[in-house]
Amino acid sequence: MIKTIFTLSIGLMSLAAHAQMSPVGLWRSIDDATQQPKAEIRITQNVAGGLSGVVEKGLQNNPNTDPNCNLCTDDRKGKPKIGLEIIRGGQQGDGKPVWEGGKILDPENGKNYSLRLTPIEGGKKLEVRGYIGTPMLGRTQTWIRVQ
């Protein structure tokens, strides 16, 4: 009986650790210029394994910022930034804790970039790399897990 309980406990702890090494959850993005929290983005995974990231909450009070994505050029043009899907697609690569193949939208300039997501520090942070062409040509932000 004790052996069974111990085995189940270890199994549940490893599942919790594995879940933390996923980009799925609620994340706080940090503004590149001010280094202040910018927004909260919820990343979910669909049945096929692809990711979706939606802006749940804005954290900056800047009256000069347009509340809509008027610079977007696709189906998101003119839509409110709160509730906007900024991550589309992405799959985990060969058992590695890296998700690639998706796109990320920068609602400030309306541009879409190729995406790489890498959980770090035991899943407490997420490296979000947006790039054009090759991952070497891009920039990385570190998001902080909220949930």
Tell me, what DSSP letter sits at residue 22? Answer: S
Number of domains in the chain: 1
Share of residues in the chain with pLDDT > 70 (%): 85
pLDDT band at 2 (very low <50, low <70, confident <90, very high): low
5 sits in which H/E element: helix 2-20
CA torsion through residues 68, 73, 43, 96, sign: negative
**Residues 19-35: tens digit of each pLDDT:** 479 999 999 999 888 89
Check residues 12 and 3 and name the one with the higher pLDDT.
3
Query: Residue 103 is encoded by which pair of tokens?
Result: 């796109």
7 sits in which H/E element: helix 2-20
- The pTM of the full predicted model, rounded to 2 decimals, is 0.83
- Flag whether pLDDT at 17 surpasses 50: no
Q: Classify residue 54 by burial, with Cβ atoms within 10 Å: 0-12, 13-18, 19+.
A: middle
Share of residues in the chain with pLDDT > 90 (%): 65
What's residue 5's pLDDT?
A: 43
Tell me, what DSSP letter sits at residue 98? Answer: -
CATH number of the domain bearing residue 33: 2.40.128.520
**Residues 50-77: tens digit of each pLDDT:** 999 999 999 887 777 789 999 999 999 9
**Residues 111-136: tens digit of each pLDDT:** 999 999 999 999 999 999 999 988 88
What's residue 60's pLDDT?
A: 82
Compute the residue count for the chain: 147
Longest Cα–Cα distance of the chain, Å, equals 63
Closest CA to 108 of 48, 44, 65, 59: 65
Q: Where are the beta strands (DSSP E) in 22-94?
A: 25-30, 37-45, 51-58, 85-88, 91-92
Residue 74 is part of which domain span?
Answer: 2-145
